Chain A
Amino acid sequence: MTAAVSRKPAPAAPAGEALVQVRGISKVYAGAVEALRDVTLDFEEGRLTSLLGPSGCGKTTLLKIIAGLIPATAGECLIAGRRVTGPGPERAFVFQDFALLPWATVLRNVGFGLELRGVPKAEREERAKHYVDMVGLAGFERKYPHELSGGMRQRVGLARALAVDAAVLLMDEPFSAVDEQTRRKFQEDLIRLRAVASKTFIFVTHSIEEAVYVSDRVVLLSPRPGRVADIIDLDLARDRDPDEIRRMPEYLDTVEAIWQGLRRYV
């Protein structure tokens, strides 16, 4: 199944190099639960690739293996040609439940990755401030997480991941813990963000609309065990107004096509 919009002639940007390569990754939990089976994928540099699928298809497991947080049972993952053996400075993770330090201010939370690296305080705070502004939280630097709404907390998580200047941004259902309106806003903000931050994004979601809206490529995973079911390249002209994308026929067709494909796994 290919989407209605793949492979337009003369693409606006050249196809990226595969920065992140996953080769034959399998993951078995506690000897019995096969979360992933023989997954081989390429993630192009500078692109946003979504991992989409119903619960139990291993998308978060795959993301955490790429992040180096979980070891794979078989196979390997390469970043710029080097094997992944654990977390590293070229990858930053955004968590579904935000994972903020509740005893620290927004500024300190955003600078936490830098703090762990030993960046001196003045420089750390300056860089953190820059990213706090970038995610739209200017003025909230001295607030604590419990004083923020869910959407604001996730912005802090995002700013923290951006602040360490990693080449690869791994996002684990980052917008699923906020309300629908905030979620839509986040999706639009993500598109705007990509215009200024040329990073490689790997985005896990279970929402088809979200995946088609933000991604350059959607990887469909089927559950039990997790395998690559399909790969769809999208070419929605994203330099257009983010609001318009949701009404484009190509967008709606793609969403419907993916849903028809995924139905049988639910």
Chain B
Amino acid sequence: MILFGYRVPMMASLVLWALVWEAVGQLDLVLMFPPLSAVLAALVELVPTPTFLDAAWITLRSFVLGMLLAIAVGVPMGILMGRVEAADRLLGMWVNLFVSAPLTALVPVIMILFGMGETTVIVTVFLFAVWIIALDARAGARGIPASLAEMARSFGASRAQFYWKIVLLAALPEILAGIRLGLIRGVKGVVIGQLLVAVIGIGALFELYSRNFLMERFWALALILFAFALILAELIERVERRVEYYAGVRNS
């Protein structure tokens, strides 16, 4: 980008922020923010430790299980809502309600139902992710051009063939977009779930570090999480790009 007539690379804003952080830390301005260099040092030190690795493994496990559940439930539910009017009327209100509700507030309730362990976290991830996945799958299913549906019928497609060979593929760009958004929300869910449960995984570590003011480690953990979410989003976006060539031309 061009700023004041000079070509500035996009990374420049990151570098600027890094410098500010470093300065703030070195000058000991705020207790919360140790210098970036110390955070990075803590990061390097932290990653190979069994504490971190165990926590990361538990977190990853809960996350993956919760996401798989969210996709397995969300996609069919969304497609059903998109193609069957009755389902849409029945479920639509709930999906719209939960997609923007502050689900964090529900986590204590989930804890009471499922206990103070991994199950709660999996359910939390599921609940955070499933609504947006369903909503986007619904949008994709509704957007199928009428002539494609007619074409399939005219060549004798059965219901099952119609859903597997046409609907799923035609809605794929939207489904993938929904999964990408669901993944981000799922990361939120796994951290919040663990934070509130506070006995396992990354959430527990966050609690530990913040309580003991081990801010270098706290921020190191935060950086890892942000990077994880970013990488996930980037990966899904790559898959989306391979599929989006037909998102714009589905009507011909």
Contact = CB atoms under 8 A, between A and B. Distances in A.
Interface of A: 64, 67-69, 87-89, 91-93, 95-103, 112-113, 115-117, 144-146, 150, 153, 160, 164
Given A116-B156, A116-B157, A102 B151 contact: no
Contact of A117 (B145, B156, B165, B166): B156
Contact of B252 (A67, A69, A153): A153
Contacts of A153: 252
Contact of A99 (B148, B172, B245, B249): B148
B210 interface: no
A133 to B, nearest CB: 21
Contacts of B245: 102, 144, 146
Given A87-B153, A144-B245, A146-B245, A103 B252 contact: no
B145 to A, nearest CB: 7
Nearest to B169: A103
A146 B155 contact: no
Given A69-B150, A92-B155, A113-B155, A103 B251 contact: no
Contacts of A150: 252
The 3 closest A-B pairs by CB, nearest first: A102-B246, A99-B151, A113-B155
A100 B252 contact: yes
Contacts, number: 72
B147 A101 contact: no
B249 A145 contact: yes
B156 A69 contact: no
Contacts of B158: 116
Nearest to A97: B147
B252 A116 contact: no
Contacts of B153: 69, 87
Given A145-B252, A146-B245, A146-B249, A164 B155 contact: yes
B: contact size bracket: 20 to 34
Interface string B140-168: 00000101101111111110010001100
A7 to B, nearest CB: 35
B148 A101 contact: yes
Contacts of A68: 154
A64 to B, nearest CB: 8
Contacts of B166: 101
Interface string B223-252: 000000000000000000001011001111
Contact of B246 (A91, A103, A164): A103
Contacts of B249: 102, 145-146
B151 A95 contact: yes
Nearest to A147: B245
A106 B56 CA distance: 47
29 contacts: A68-B154, A69-B150, A69-B153, A87-B153, A87-B156, A92-B154, A93-B150, A95-B147, A95-B151, A97-B145, A99-B151, A101-B148, A101-B166, A101-B169, A102-B249, A103-B169, A103-B172, A103-B243, A103-B246, A112-B155, A113-B156, A115-B165, A116-B152, A116-B165, A117-B156, A144-B245, A144-B246, A153-B252, A160-B155
